[in-house]
Amino acid sequence: MSQNEVDALRQAGDDTGHREFAERMVRALSDGFQVLENLPRDDEFWRGWANDHVTVHKLDALAIERLARDPADRTARWTLVALALAHGANDGGLALLGPEIAADPTVVADALVIADWIGQEIGLDLTTELREACAWADRDALESLARTERGEAAQAALRVLEPQPPLSGRD
């Protein structure tokens, strides 16, 4: 596994107050590297590469390929999210979370963490991207989750999903 990406995730996790999430992203990255490492060297994926060394660039390419073939591939999806966060991507992989949120509305908590992480690290407001990702959730399931003891993230997601007032045109 690439120590640079691990260090970047852990440092940003410390800087943003999201250490636990950063460790989950380190595990996601590790899982992705394990898939790449275990890929037989005679697999079609390796054709065209100069060598069969496991690298971050090859991991990114493999994860993109696997997710395109199987949109339910959680390892590929979370590997791409971890890479986006480690490399300072403007959306932190948030755009990848819609299908995860559709399958499990508790993932809105992760979407909120990513939006906060990017806001703190890069200074970008990801409200629009967060709204798009959270819109994948089953509204009834999200509302039910919001009524639970640990429903703060679902409550925040519902607020993000509220219709936005039209711009008045006056500044």
- pLDDT tens string 17-75: 999 999 999 999 999 999 999 999 999 999 999 999 999 999 999 999 999 999 999 99
End-to-end CA distance of the chain: 50
Q: Which of 69, 87, 105 is the last residue of a domain?
A: 87
> Is there a contact between 56 and 36 (Cβ–Cβ < 8 Å)?
no
Whether 168 is in a domain gets the answer no
What does the DSSP assignment read for 54-91?
--HHHHHHHHHHHHHH-TT-HHHHHHHHHHHHHTT-TT
Domain encompassing residue 57: 1-87
* CA-atom Rg of the chain in angstroms: 18
Asked if 75 and 132 sit in the same domain, the reply is no
4 shares a domain with 49: yes
Residue at 170 is within a domain: no
Structural domain count, the chain:
2
Predicted local confidence at residue 142, as pLDDT: 86
Q: Is residue 31 located within the same domain as residue 11?
A: yes
Q: What is the pLDDT of residue 161?
A: 83
What is the pLDDT of the chain when averaged over all its residues?
Answer: 91
Residues 20 and 82 in one domain: yes
The pTM is what? 0.88
